[in-house]
Amino acid sequence: MKSCKAREPPPPLVQFAELVLPYLNPSELANVSLTCKPLLEHSHTITHRRASDASRTFETLPIPFLNAVDPHPYAPFLYTRSLLLPSPLPLPRQPWGSSVFSPSAQCGLHRAESVGFVDGAGRAVSGCECEVCASADCPCASLDGLDDVGRECGPGCRCGPECGNRLTRNGVAVRVKIVRGWRKGWGLHADQFIGKGEFVFEYAGNLFF
């Protein structure tokens, strides 16, 4: 491995490493890290950031990896907050491991769609004039026959993201981690006590290996 000399201008890839390297997959990142010492240091930093948050900053709480089985610090996959439909086109690359917070990730937290419910007669129950849906008079908080399932305010509600009936659009609500096991591989584990009936998160995508 050769070092980039300090008196010479660094190669373009070194100059823009923070912009380019987060788009590389693990094998590409490993190959680039062998070219010179600065890229090796950038690669180590990106690998550490990837292992510390599988959600790629799309969630309010990080989802770290924990692997005591083999040398792979994380499992590469495309993280999304919306459903992925089958497509013949290759999956788009996501920047993962950059020190720059992704503006699209922050916007995604507020653009998440709310689910809708219908009442016993099949009428849509979505929308209200309440700013916080905590009153028994609010149609969103008194859905007959839905005591054992989650409730979510629809896009027509005036309440904001802090409302207790807007759980899915706020993302992951408790701390979880992805752990590598000897027998079953990677699996999702709770990283804190979760009470009975407490909302964790909504799974809305596909896992790619």
Q: Give me the mean pLDDT over the 64-93 stretch.
A: 83
Instruction: Tell me the mean pLDDT in the region 60-81.
Output: 88
Beta carbons of 47 and 76 less than 8 angstroms apart:
no
How many angstroms separate the Cα of 58 from the Cα of each of 33, 61, 105, 149, 200? 26, 9, 5, 25, 15
Contact by Cβ (8 Å): 155, 114: yes
Does pTM top 0.75 for this prediction?
no
**pLDDT tens profile 185-198:** 999 999 999 888 78
More confident: 74 or 59: 74
The string over 23-55, giving b where at least 16 C-beta atoms fall within 10 Å of a residue's C-beta and e elsewhere, is ebeeeebeebbebbebbbebbebbbebbbebbb
Q: Per residue in 112-164, pLDDT tens?
A: 444 455 555 655 555 677 777 766 667 666 554 455 555 677 667 777 777 77
- DSSP letter string over 70-102? SS---------SSPPPP-SSPPPP---S-SSPP
Pairwise pLDDT comparison (178 vs 83), residue with the higher score: 178
